[in-house]
Structure 1
Amino acid sequence: MSDLEITDMQAFQEIREKLFNLNRNLNNIRQKIQVSDKDRQRCVITLKELETLPPNTKTYKSVGKMFLVAPKDTLKKELKKQVEKDEEDVKGLMNQGKYIDAQISETEKSLKELVITKK
């Protein structure tokens, strides 16, 4: 093999490895988005259920494996904060996903160019 072929093979392998890593990162981000979205939905449903309860109902907050008595208003505030945090997380993850998607497109383009130049 000539030096040019070895260099082309190394470049091809590097681009392929970069593309694999980018796709793996994109899949991780998508999973994180799903987890955050499910958590947000759970909080929204819980908030709706808390709204239907009478004002002096005993409510409990989950702390690990135990439950502590907590005022209804405190629970609602915490759930609203969690919903806002989850929405911000999803927005940030979406932006990361768009950035990685653009990188994937650029990497695929350079891989196609490398293959075309070899033909």
Structure 2
Amino acid sequence: MSISNEALQKVLQEIGQKKVFAEQQLSIVKQQQAVKNRETRMLQLTSSEVESLPKETKVYEGVGKMFICTPIPDVQKRLATESDAVKAELANLKKKEDYLEKTYENSKASLEQVLGRAGA
């Protein structure tokens, strides 16, 4: 079964576009993961600093352009909630990364297969 040059070119173009799109999205996801990893680290550092404070220490949180005195347990609760949210986002980004890597590899394999057939 032979494929016409026009059809072959169209198939190659479509597969190439999928491959490039997956590659671009993969780099975006990796950048997003780096940002979330930094957020996780900042939350961990802040949490450890707050835990090391004496219980009677006044802690202030920034809200807009002002600071509000907040009890330490409330700050710790907020930090834990934010940390859980970031972990969930990281898990979703990991799933997206896996999907995009598979798409990229499949596109790459399809291109090699089509080119192999065309050369044969």
Partners of 1:22 and 1:92 lie apart in 2 by 17
- Count of equivalent residues: 117
Q: Which moved more, 1:3-12 or 1:78-87?
A: 3-12
Q: Secondary structure at the match of 2:69?
A: strand
Q: Who is 1:99 aligned against? A: 99
The normalised TM-score by structure 1 is 0.91
Partners of 1:65 and 1:117 lie apart in 2 by 65
Task: Please tell me whether residue 82 in structure 1 is matched to residue 85 in structure 2.
Answer: no
| CA deviation string 1:93-119 (max 9, x = no partner) | 111111111111111110001111111
Partners of 2:19 and 2:48 lie apart in 1 by 43
Q: Who is 1:115 aligned against? A: 115
Partners of 1:46 and 1:112 lie apart in 2 by 50
| CA deviation string 1:56-112 (max 9, x = no partner) | 111111234433221111111000111111111111111111111111111111000
**Could you list the runs of 5+ residues in structure 1 that have no partner in the other structure?**
none
Partners of 2:92 and 2:65 lie apart in 1 by 31
Structure 1 runs (4+) greater than 6 angstroms displaced: none
Partners of 2:111 and 2:14 lie apart in 1 by 10
One-letter amino acid matched to 1:32: Q
Partners of 1:115 and 1:87 lie apart in 2 by 42
The normalised TM-score by structure 2 is 0.90
**Could you list the runs of 5+ residues in structure 2 that have no partner in the other structure?**
none
One-letter amino acid matched to 2:100: I
Q: Secondary structure at the match of 1:56?
A: coil
Q: Who is 2:11 aligned against? A: 11
Q: Who is 2:29 aligned against? A: 29
Q: Which of the pair has the greater relative contact order for Cα pairs under 8 Å at 6+ separation?
A: 2
Tell me the percent identity: 23
